[in-house]
Structure formats: C-alpha cells, structure tokens
C-alpha cells in the first residue's frame, strides 16, 4: 500500500490553500497501466500556492524498453524522443527535491503515486510519504451530477486551455486549474477559514 496519505475532507481545502500550503500538481505518462511491469516515460509537475505558480518541472524519461504502439498513439511520445532522455534513476531525486514539503495533487492520484512508488523501489529509494489530493475524487464530490469526470472533459467544461493533452506537464497544469476551480465552485460547502484545525 502507498505510504502517501490521501486527504479526503474536501470541505477544508479552501482553508488549506489560504493557510499558505504549497501544492505540487503532477502527472506521469507511462508505457502501460501496470506499475510493476510498465515504466514512466514522462514526468511533469507544477508547484503552486494561493499566489499562483511557483515553478514547473518536466522531463521525458528513457524507460530502457521499447514503447508499445498504443502508448505512442495516446501520448505522441516516440522511441526517438526518449532515446536520449535521462533514466528514471536520475529523474526521481530531482522530482523529490522539487516536491519536497508540498501536498501532491493528481487526477486519479493513486495511479501516478503507485507508478512513482514502483520506480522509486526499483531505484532503491524510499516511496512517497506526502499528503495528496485526488482531483478525480474531488471533482466527483464537487460536481456529482456531471456523469463524467475525466481531466480533459473537465477542462472542456470549464474552458481551461489544453495545450498538449496526455503530456505530463500540461496535464499537471490542467489538474492544478481543476483543483482550484473545484474549490471556488464549492465555497458554500467549504469550512470557514477561521475554523480550527486543517486535517
């Protein structure tokens, strides 16, 4: 089981943002759906707080295996593009430094967390221990009547610009914007900022 703690008290998110918390919206592109056998081929992240974007992180990753055709079709990432990219063993320490002290934010967060954890274990590193927020669960709570909660659907619904769907850094940015929109649209359900305690 992941050591990451998912925050699920969505009524306290506005208070968390206003407290000055720093968030790291992140996304992985992978060779497939199974963390134990598939590999990360791109890792993107956006660090932000209540004042806006603080920094971005984005890199392709050489998975050291051929990319399956379906992977290339979805992400438009090719073998040629990752051939000279850094290997995950050098990417992960940089990402951990980037995300240090942050609350992770991801759409279908356990997917990205489990992939990252498996890659960390293969590199002999400790798995993630961050707090995290899943914007898929958050958007289902915020918009129960929607019927669809995929990231690209929400982006279209909220007129969030999508520059490169299924590319890690842009998906991370869209995730950040969905996160902030969910909070803004549920202000009538958010706990007052002056209330005691966060999580």
Catalytic residues: 166
Report strand pairing: 5-6 vs 131-134. parallel
Q: Output the six-digit token pair for 100.
A: 């240090």
Q: Alpha helix (H) ranges present in the chain?
A: 13-18, 69-75, 79-83, 88-99, 109-122, 135-142, 151-157, 168-185
Return the half-sphere exposure (C-beta side, CA atoms, 13 A cut-off) of residue 75.
27
| Dist. CA 28–CA 172, nearest whole Å | 9
DSSP per-residue codes, 140-169: HHH-TT-S---HHHHHHHTT---SSTT-HH
CA distance 52 to 61: 27
Map residue 188 onto helix, strand or coil: coil
């Amino acid at each position: 089981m992941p050591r990451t703690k998912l925050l699920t008290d969505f009524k306290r998110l506005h208070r968390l943002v206003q407290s000055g918390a720093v968030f790291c919206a992140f996304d992985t592109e992978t060779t497939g759906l199974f963390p134990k056998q598939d590999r990360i081929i791109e890792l993107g992240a956006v660090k932000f707080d209540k004042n806006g974007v603080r920094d971005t992180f984005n890199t392709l990753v050489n998975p050291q295996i051929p990319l399956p055709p379906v992977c290339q079709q979805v992400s438009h990432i090719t073998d040629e593009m990752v051939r000279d990219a850094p290997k995950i063993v050098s990417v992960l320490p940089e990402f951990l430094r980037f995300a240090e002290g942050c609350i992770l934010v991801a759409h279908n967060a356990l997917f990205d967390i489990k992939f990252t954890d498996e890659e960390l274990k293969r590199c002999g590193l400790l798995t993630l221990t961050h707090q995290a927020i899943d914007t898929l669960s958050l958007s289902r709570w915020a918009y129960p009547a929607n019927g669809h909660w995929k990231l690209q659907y929400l982006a279209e619904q909220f007129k969030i610009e999508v520059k490169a769907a299924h590319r890690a850094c842009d998906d991370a940015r869209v995730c950040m914007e969905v996160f902030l929109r969910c909070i803004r649209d549920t202000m009538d359900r958010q706990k007052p900022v002056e209330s005691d305690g966060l999580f």
